Structure 1
Amino acid sequence: MRLNEIPFNGARPVDGYGPGFFRVGGEVIHGAVLVTARGAQAWGGYDDAGPLLALAGEIDVLLVGTGRTIAHPPAALRDKLDAVGIGVEPMASDAAARTYNVLLSEGRRIAAALLPVD
């Protein structure tokens, strides 16, 4: 089997997750996390819209990892993000992390806001 190295051009992919944590570029972050090409930071969940809105103009799509199963983020949050031109794609957190990594490797303007899988 041939393995190909995936270039992330200095960005840090999501390289693991487990009950209550994510590992991004080797760093473990407990709880919810916001991951961008610039790095990762703890995120306060749906009530913490500020860091997401601050990405306006930097990203086109925000993948929202909703935990173990897919669910719709609150309408008020979706409306705020839409108002600043950020598309929202909800999916289960594991799928969101994998999708983020693929799109990041393609150089897309992407971010992921991930709720932990408990």
Structure 2
Amino acid sequence: MKLHSDKLEIQSVTGYGDGWIAVNGQRHTHSLVLTPKSELTAWPCARFELLEGSHFDMLIEQSIEPPELIVFGSGARLRFVPPALLRGLMSRRIGVETMDTAAACRTYNILASEGRRVVAALLLET
């Protein structure tokens, strides 16, 4: 018997490495916002130090439905966002999980495959 994995009809991370992320087989070298059912979009932040509240507020607009969780990939290493930048998400009761970008890619794939309303904000520093 030959076994085949199920093909999911969602946006998923299919690979990542130093300075790149592949989504559904297409390689990207810039920060990304990824949702299971929406178009993949560039995230206009190239460095962790340049993050602003508006970068996180725009994540809500990327989803067809309001997300229940934002998975934030902070780059090559784990760095936590100042809580003041997350006020807009917290006021809407949207959870934020912070991890390095590689871990965020893996976590996003699991949550998206479970049908969760998740948004991944993946920082690739240039």
The two structures have a TM-score, normalised by structure 2, of 0.78
Unaligned runs of 5+ in 2: 46-50
Q: Tell me the distance in 2 between the aligned counterparts of 1:85 and 1:3.
A: 41
Aligned to 1:42: 42
Runs of 4+ off more than 6 Å: none
**Is the CA contact 1:67–1:115 (under 8 Å) kept in the aligned structure 2?**
yes
Task: Map 1:85-100; keep pairs closer than 5 Å.
Answer: 85-100=93-108
Query: Residue 5 of structure 2 aligns to which amino acid in structure 1?
Result: E
| Structure (1 or 2) with the greater strand fraction | 1
List gaps (5 residues or longer) in structure 1.
none
Q: Which residue of the partner structure matches residue 33 of structure 1? A: 32
Aligned pairs, number: 116
Using the alignment, how far apart are the partners of 1:34 and 1:22 within structure 2? 11
- Sort the Cα spacing of 1:74 and 1:112 in 2 relative to 1 into closer, same or farther, 3 A: same
Distance in 1 separating the partners of 2:20 and 2:114: 25
Q: Indicate the larger mover: 28-37 or 43-52.
A: 43-52
* Residues 7-26 of structure 1: CA deviation (Å, up to 9, x unaligned): 52x21101112232211112
Equivalent residues of 1:64, 1:96 under 8 A apart: yes
**Structure 1 or 2: larger helix share?**
2
User: How far apart in 1 are the matches of 2:39 and 2:20?
Assistant: 16
Cα pair distance change 1:77/1:67, threshold 3 Å: same
Mark the CA change 1:116 to 1:50 in structure 2 (over 3 Å): closer, same or farther.
same
Asked whether the equivalents of residues 60 and 86 of structure 1 are also in contact (C-alpha less than 8 Å), the reply is: yes
Q: How does 1:1-118 map to 2 (within 5 A)?
A: 5-8=5-8, 10-37=9-36, 38-45=38-45, 46-47=51-52, 48-54=55-61, 55=63, 57-116=65-124
